[in-house]
């Protein structure tokens, strides 16, 4: 994969530049056609990136980086820029023997066999994974990760994420990058979505609830159409978030999404999901049966060939979407999920009282989680630990918001604004929250005292972080 401008045209083999079989029929033709159409832009992009890398080798100009990333990272720069954005290169350099030593650690049979089961069925349509060589790489990345991240271990979906990373990176860097994508250790870099992949998947479910509320508000007709046919938004969108779109969008589009996701973080998942609704609003609004919704939504996502248009919609078309709003909706989602879990638990107990439990296996087995062992429980961390993690996560997003108020929150154009021009002088300080400890905590809505008191709730989904902001309004308004 060189970034050189070579003669274009349909690829000689029926593989694309990433090793995927070009889909048959109209979709495949559309992908090839769009690639040709996009080629001049892609070439300009390469020149710009080369210039940028020469002028700013340490990538210190974050604003410039963000603008360039939003227009797409050329293939030849992806590995380096992803690893930079996520901090995985630093981790790798700082831990030169870690990957190899993780691979020497044992894993449970259950984990090993689940990984094996999935290896042969991860992108069987990609050249790399047709051969044992590529499969072996994927195996090692997933095994090292399972040892490294004890809470997550292995979860289906990670196989797809790792497999895409391996198209650009060697095993060791792919491993560190996967680690940072799932659960960042490096300060402000990386994502924090390990809750998508652990037992219960509470964070995923909460995010889907949050997305639902935002879709309902921004695209009421499309949303109403889904509901009219009895479709839950989460049926459609769960996989989008879980595999970070890699199993639902064309690969070229997935890569554009990941470019932004890895630099700007979690909110990009929301922006892109909303952009898919935006780009197809009219069609979605006219669905007439449940079957049509389910089949067409899959088709719609797999046909997002025009990645530039989708990204434009994500940053402009969908309108404003502040981090604070996403955070509020996430807090709402977390409450809904906690309620759901409590109701499910209560039902289970009521049922078990009526019918003594059979000597089958437990309803919710502990995590496949050897080294983490406090006695009993579901293997989750303590409420205080969860509170601290949560506070850290929120603090980070405040810091991010500060960036945003300097950089503009994603409302800059994707392709129109002059990259080399001066930044608009407006939008500077003003809206940055003052960062005294008090104001930070109240901004975060974290009750410090509650973090320090041991909670007697054993429900793993409830941390003792209380989110005060806007709760009441959200809890009661049906937003109609």
Partner 1 sequence: MDASSPLPKTVHYKLVLLGDASVGKSCLVVRFAKDEFYEYQEPTIGAAFMTQSVTLGDEIVKFEIWDTAGQERYRSLAPMYYRGAAAAVVVYDITNKESFDGAKSWINELKAVLPSDVVIALTGNKIDLEASRCVSTELAEGYAEDNALLFKETSAKTGEGVRELFDEIARKLPKKSQDSDAGGFQVSSNQKASSWSTGSCAC
Sites for partner 1 among residues 126-185 (CB under 8 A): 155-157, 159-160
- Residue ranges in 87-131 assigned as alpha helix (H): 88-94, 98-103, 109-119
Nearer to partner 1 by Cβ, of 247 and 401: the residue is 247
* The token pair that represents 281 in the structure block: 């609003």
Map tokens 């604004």 to a residue: 417
**d(C-alpha 462, C-alpha 459), whole Å:** 6
Nearer to partner 1 by Cβ, of 120 and 449: the residue is 120
**d(C-alpha 445, C-alpha 470), whole Å:** 10
DSSP-derived secondary structure for 259-298: HHHHHH-THHHHHHHHHHHHHTHHHHHT--SHHHHHHHHH
Is residue 150 within 8 Å of 199, Cβ to Cβ? no
* # chain residues binding partner 1, by CB under 8 A: 56
Single residue of 83, 91, 173, 231 touching partner 1 by CB under 8 A: 231
> To 5 degrees, how large is the angle CA 458–CA 338–CA 275?
140
CB of 287 to partner 1, least distance (A): 11
Stretch that binds partner 1, among 65-73, 92-100, 226-234, 463-471 (CB under 8 A): 226-234
Single residue of 224, 344, 448, 473 touching partner 1 by CB under 8 A: 344
Q: What does the CA dihedral 90, 96, 102, 103 come to, rounded to 10 degrees?
A: 120
Q: Is residue 339 involved in binding partner 1 (CB under 8 A)?
A: yes
CB of 125 to partner 1, least distance (A): 10
Q: Is residue 229 involved in binding partner 1 (CB under 8 A)?
A: yes
CB of 146 to partner 1, least distance (A): 12
Stretch that binds partner 1, among 58-66, 326-334, 336-344, 440-448 (CB under 8 A): 336-344
The SS3 assignment for 329 reads helix
Mask 351-370, x = binds partner 1 (CB under 8 A)? xx-xx-xx-xx-xxx-----
- The number of beta carbons lying within 10 Å of the beta carbon of residue 221 is 11
Stretch that binds partner 1, among 88-96, 200-208, 275-283, 471-479 (CB under 8 A): 200-208
Nearest to 397 by CA among 314, 478, 326, 475: 326
Nearest to 294 by CA among 367, 232, 243: 232
Map tokens 């990272």 to a residue: 73
Q: Is residue 230 involved in binding partner 1 (CB under 8 A)?
A: yes
Mask 293-312, x = binds partner 1 (CB under 8 A)? -xx-----------------
Stretch that binds partner 1, among 233-241, 278-286, 374-382, 400-408 (CB under 8 A): 233-241
The length of the chain is 480
CB of 228 to partner 1, least distance (A): 9
CB of 220 to partner 1, least distance (A): 17
Q: Is residue 232 involved in binding partner 1 (CB under 8 A)?
A: yes
Mask 96-125, x = binds partner 1 (CB under 8 A)? ------------------x--xx-xxx-x-
CB of 115 to partner 1, least distance (A): 11
Stretch that binds partner 1, among 178-186, 291-299, 388-396, 414-422 (CB under 8 A): 291-299
The SS3 assignment for 79 reads helix
**d(C-alpha 70, C-alpha 256), whole Å:** 8
Classify 356 in phi/psi space as left (phi over 0), alpha (psi -120 to 50) or beta.
beta
Stretch that binds partner 1, among 181-189, 255-263, 289-297, 462-470 (CB under 8 A): 289-297
Give exposure, 231-258, as e/b (b: 16+ Cβ within 10 Å): bebbebbbbbbbbbbbbbbbbbbbbbbb
Single residue of 197, 223, 287, 443 touching partner 1 by CB under 8 A: 197
Binding site for partner 1 (CB under 8 A): 114, 117-118, 120-122, 124, 155-157, 159-160, 197-202, 205, 227, 229-232, 234-235, 238-239, 242-243, 247, 289-291, 294-295, 336, 339-340, 343-344, 346-348, 350-352, 354-355, 357-358, 360-361, 363-365
């Amino acid at each position: 994969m060189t970034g050189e401008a070579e003669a274009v045209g349909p690829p000689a083999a029926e593989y694309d530049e990433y090793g995927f079989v070009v889909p048959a029929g109209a979709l495949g033709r559309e992908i090839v056609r769009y690639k040709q159409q996009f080629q001049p832009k892609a070439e300009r992009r390469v020149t710009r990136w080369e210039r940028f890398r020469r002028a700013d080798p340490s990538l210190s100009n974050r604003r410039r980086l963000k603008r360039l990333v939003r227009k797409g990272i050329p293939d030849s720069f992806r590995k380096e820029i992803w690893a930079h954005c996520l901090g995985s290169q630093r981790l790798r350099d700082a831990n030169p023997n870690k990957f190899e030593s993780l691979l020497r650690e044992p894993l449970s049979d259950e984990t090993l066999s689940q990984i094996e089961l999935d290896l042969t069925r991860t992108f069987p349509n990609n050249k790399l994974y047709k051969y044992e060589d590529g499969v072996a790489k994927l195996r090692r990345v997933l095994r090292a990760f399972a040892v490294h991240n004890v809470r997550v271990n292995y979860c289906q979906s990670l196989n797809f994420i790792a497999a895409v990373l391996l198209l650009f990176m060697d095993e060791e860097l792919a491993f560190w990058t996967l680690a940072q994508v799932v659960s960042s250790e490096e300060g402000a870099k990386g994502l924090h979505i390990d809750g998508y992949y652990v037992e219960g998947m509470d964070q995923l479910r909460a995010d889907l609830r949050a997305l639902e509320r935002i879709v309902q508000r921004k695209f009421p007709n499309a949303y109403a159409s889904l509901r009219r046919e009895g479709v839950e938004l989460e049926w459609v969108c769960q996989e989008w978030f879980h595999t970070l779109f890699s199993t639902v969008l064309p690969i070229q589009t997935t890569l554009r999404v990941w470019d932004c996701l890895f630099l700007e973080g979690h909110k990009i998942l929301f922006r892109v999901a909303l952009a898919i609704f935006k780009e197809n609003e009219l069609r979605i609004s006219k669905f007439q049966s449940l079957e049509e919704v389910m089949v067409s939504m899959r088709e719609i996502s797999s046909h997002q060939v025009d990645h530039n248009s989708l990204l434009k919609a994500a940053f402009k078309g969908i309108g404003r979407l502040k981090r604070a709003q996403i955070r509020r909706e996430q807090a709402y989602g977390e409450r809904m999920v906690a309620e759901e879990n409590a109701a499910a638990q209560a039902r289970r107990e009521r049922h078990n009282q009526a019918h003594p439990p059979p000597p089958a296996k437990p309803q919710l087995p502990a995590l496949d989680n050897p080294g983490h062992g406090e006695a009993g429980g579901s293997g989750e961390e303590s409420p205080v630990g969860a509170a601290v993690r949560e506070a850290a996560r929120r603090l980070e997003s405040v810091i991010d918001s500060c960036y945003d108020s300097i950089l503009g929150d994603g409302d800059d154009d994707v392709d129109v604004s002059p990259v080399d021009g001066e930044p608009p002088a407006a939008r500077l300080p003003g809206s940055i929250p003052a960062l005294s400890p008090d104001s930070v905590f109240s901004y975060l809505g974290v009750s410090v005292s509650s973090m320090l008191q041991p909670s007697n709730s054993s429900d793993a989904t409830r941390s003792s972080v209380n989110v005060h902001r806007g709760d009441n309004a959200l809890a009661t308004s049906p937003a109609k």
